[in-house]
Structure 1
């Protein structure tokens, strides 16, 4: 099914309220994104950090009446009449498979390869570990994972 994204850039202090307004006005999902490429460090336990300039993105069914949503949001004190926003059309995709396109075999050290099951093994004579990215392993790109795998290759 095709989708429409409603994007609103605002200050972090109002981002969650705007997200709640999008949800109350039919958004199927709400996401908070960095609007200005600001570095963010690990929050303390229980702390929710948003970027000083946060983009709030609401995802709507393409058939949804977006003008009605905009009209409702214009009534809020936070946004007001004529608030700055952007609407983007998203084409339908097989989202469950789309993320897989970004993962390729990765080499660690000289002989060790971590290979997703849906990709060909680049070097059949190497030590090839068939391991799909997920909750347990992740993607293998984290620096500590990479260091551990390089160390393992050296053994």
Structure 2
């Protein structure tokens, strides 16, 4: 079990609060747009390394602590983190208990086989191939590399199915799973 603490912070203090919570003993910390899902939501776009200094005007800082933490000790950690981040007092916050889960299994449940063409499927290793007569690429998908679901990856895979013939040389100049090179 874990305790999730969600604090509200303005743009100029969210990052400092995140860092201070980690220093105070949080197991993990994330920052989200507190206005997400409202008219005030502000999506972030840009090139890596060139993001604005403050992500959102109103942030939600979420820290995860061990459920065995003493409530008084947790309160002291929050107070220390708030002081270190420049707050006069602990900002408004809520807590909730987070149950232990099999995160690998939960992540895997989000990925199903993907049909690229009549003859090409991308199949996570924990699934049976839906079409035994097709080319089934077994791949353990993740969030940071090609699974065939992104439109550009899918378009390239469709093109490979049409254009590549035996004897062709193909270079997958990516930095992910190598799905295009495998498919070729």
What's the TM-score, normalizing by structure 2? 0.70
1:45 maps to 49
Is 1:7 the equivalent of 2:11?
no
Report the alpha carbon displacement of residue 102 of structure 1 after superposing the two structures with TM. Answer: 0.8
Cα distance in 2 for partners of 1:30, 1:4 equals: 12
Report deviation, 1:119.
0.7
Deviations 1:77-107 (A, max 9, x none): 7444462112121111122332111111011
Displacement of 1:24 in angstroms is 2.3
Query: In the alignment, is residue 94 of structure 1 matched against residue 102 of structure 2?
Result: yes
Q: Comparing both chains, which one has the higher relative contact order based on Cα–Cα distances under 8 Å and sequence gaps of 6 or more? A: 1
Aligned residues: 154
Q: Which runs of 5+ in 1 are unaligned?
A: none
Q: Which residues in structure 2 correspond to 1:1-155 (within 5 Å)? A: 2-37=1-36, 38-45=42-49, 47=51, 50-65=55-70, 66-73=74-81, 75=83, 78-81=86-89, 83-134=91-142, 137-155=145-163
Worse-superposed segment, 62-71 or 73-82 = 73-82
Shift in alpha-carbon separation, 1:82–1:29, aligned structure 2, 3 A: closer
Gaps of 5+ in 2: 37-41, 164-184
Cα RMSD after superposing both structures:
2.6
CA contact (8 A) 1:105 1:113 kept: yes
Aligned 8 A contact 1:30 1:56 in 2: yes
2:166 aligned residue: none
Instruction: Compare 24-33 and 38-47 and name the one that shifted more.
Output: 38-47
Which deviates more from structure 2 when the two are superposed, residues 5-14 or residues 43-52?
A: 43-52
Task: Please report how far the alpha carbon of residue 51 of structure 1 lies from its aligned counterpart in structure 2 after TM superposition.
Answer: 2.9
CA contact (8 A) 2:9 2:91 kept: no
CA distance in 2, matches of 1:51, 1:43: 17
